[in-house]
């Protein structure tokens, strides 16, 4: 069965520190890979997708096909990065990991 795992439920980091959110998926094929973010009182929205190979708000995501991981990273966390982050490999219908709450403290 297709599964996506975000092992950290909560990440608390200081402003300016690096942050890495882990995502592992299990599937024999090659899903489309996304990270979505939900800021307080805002709707869930796309942060970035692997195929674009882009950096959004300083975040990048590295695909490791061997480890089937798609970790999200930012070298210097900002307070406005406090949010809920969801990894979403798409094998067709859209599925999400359990989410990681990021809290950036000054």
Q: Count CB atoms within 10 A of the CB of residue 4.
A: 23
Q: 87 with 4: CB under 8 angstroms?
A: yes
Using CA atoms, how far apart are residues 105 and 13, in angstroms rounded to an integer?
6
- Tokens, residue 90: 């798409």
Out of 7, 16, 27, 45, the residue judged to bind other proteins by CB under 8 A: 45
Q: Tell me the per-residue interface mask from 11 to 40 with other proteins, x by CB under 8 A, - otherwise.
A: --------------------xx-x-x----
Out of 25, 70, 86, 87, name the contact with other proteins by CB under 8 A: 86
The binding site for other proteins (CB under 8 A) comprises 31-32, 34, 36, 43-46, 49, 84, 86, 88, 90-99, 101
């Amino acid at each position: 069965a297709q599964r996506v795992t975000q092992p950290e439920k909560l990440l608390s980091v200081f402003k300016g520190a690096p942050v890495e959110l882990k995502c592992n998926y299990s599937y024999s094929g090659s899903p489309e890979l996304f990270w979505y973010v939900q800021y307080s009182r805002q709707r869930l929205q796309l942060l970035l997708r692997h195929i674009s190979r882009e950096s959004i708000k300083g975040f990048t995501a590295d695909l490791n096909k061997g480890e089937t991981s798609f970790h999200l990273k930012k070298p210097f966390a900002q307070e406005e990065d406090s949010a809920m982050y969801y990894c979403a490999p798409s094998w067709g219908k859209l599925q999400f990991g359990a989410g990681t709450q990021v809290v950036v403290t000054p």
